[in-house]
Amino acid sequence: MKKLFLPLTAFVLLTSTMSSCDSVNHLSNIPGLNGGITQNEAQQGIQQVLLNGILDGVLNLNKKDGFFGNAAYKLLLPEDAQKVVGTLKSIGLGSVVDQAVLQINRSAEDAVGLAKPIFTNAVKQMTVTDALQLVKGGNNSITNYFKSKTTDQLIAAFKPVIASSLNKTDATKYYGDIVKTYNSIPLTKNKINPDLTDYVAKNASNALFDQIAKEEVNIRQNPVARTTDILKKVFGQQSK
């Protein structure tokens, strides 16, 4: 986190010690940093780091096969439903399972696009105190910060899109009917949730944060990933 913490530290120090009339002063006054970076540039650099990582993570998943074609994130039917899955396959209805799996992944791919404005707003709402806490944090502290701030919003935003997408195919409805029948068996102890919406929403959110964590590391450590002039200026000086 060192490469990321230095500009964050600079931002915290600047916003804590400078008055508004001093906002054009350079970071050359901060021990351990090279000069040539203004407070405004430091703040913009931090915001761009966060937004770049977040939006890249979203884009990697918000496309056809972003989930279904990615072995790391492909969603299968819930673990507790494997008995039902086995039953369907044993009676020649494996295609129903396959269609259900495809559709839950398509629904996740559709839903994660709604994360963009939620994350963007969270970045804009970040305070100096928040930045200081991130400086003191450990690995993936930024990703974890946004996870704590946005998870509930993401899941709430995802659910309607996922529910609508799941209703596009009879396979997921048929799956739900089978699960309900299974649950109605008197000796069934462990009931299965027939609604896949919550399951898909939570897993889509988890995959999104995993992608963001990877992009966060990439921007910190890889100079090529610093795609704007401000990022190059802020982070380039920390690499010297």
Q: Where are the domains of the chain?
A: 2-238
Residues 159 and 197 sit within 8 Å (Cβ to Cβ): yes
Q: Who's near 224: CB < 8 A, 6+ residues apart?
A: none
Q: What gap in Å lies between CA 86 and CA 97, rounded to an integer? A: 9
Taking alpha carbons only, the member of 54, 56, 47 closest to residue 8 is 47
What pLDDT score was predicted for residue 182?
79
Longest dimension (CA), the chain: 75
Q: What gap in Å lies between CA 202 and CA 206, rounded to an integer? A: 6
What Rg value do the Cα atoms of the chain yield, rounded? Answer: 23
Residues 165 and 171 sit within 8 Å (Cβ to Cβ): no
Q: What is the pLDDT of residues 180-231, one digit of tens each?
A: 887 887 877 778 888 899 999 999 999 999 988 887 777 667 666 556 666 5
Q: Is the pLDDT at 22 greater than 50, yes or no? A: no
Q: Is the pLDDT at 67 greater than 90, yes or no? A: yes
Q: What gap in Å lies between CA 112 and CA 205, rounded to an integer? A: 8
Band (141; pLDDT cuts 50, 70, 90)? confident
Band (91; pLDDT cuts 50, 70, 90)? confident
Q: Is the pLDDT at 41 greater than 90, yes or no? A: no
- How much is the average pLDDT of 151-179? 89
Q: What gap in Å lies between CA 135 and CA 6, rounded to an integer? A: 8
DSSP string, 178-208: HHHHHHHSTT--S------HHHHHHHHHHHH
- How much is the average pLDDT of 56-78? 92
Q: Who's near 146: CB < 8 A, 6+ residues apart?
A: 50, 54, 119, 122, 209, 212
Query: Of the given ranges (9-13, 50-54, 61-65, 213-217), which has the lowest mean pLDDT?
Result: 9-13
Q: Report the predicted TM-score, pTM, of the whole model to 2 decimal places.
A: 0.74
- How much is the average pLDDT of 20-38? 41
Q: What gap in Å lies between CA 210 and CA 216, rounded to an integer? A: 10
Higher local confidence (pLDDT), 151 or 126: 151
Q: Among residues of the chain, what percentage have pLDDT more than 70? A: 66
Band (2; pLDDT cuts 50, 70, 90)? very low
What pLDDT score was predicted for residue 38?
58
Q: What gap in Å lies between CA 189 and CA 130, rounded to an integer? A: 46
What pLDDT score was predicted for residue 219?
65
Q: Is the pLDDT at 28 greater than 80, yes or no? A: no
Taking alpha carbons only, the member of 216, 210, 171, 195 closest to residue 70 is 210
Residues 231 and 48 sit within 8 Å (Cβ to Cβ): yes
Q: Among residues of the chain, what percentage have pLDDT more than 90? A: 28
Q: Is the pLDDT at 139 greater than 80, yes or no? A: no
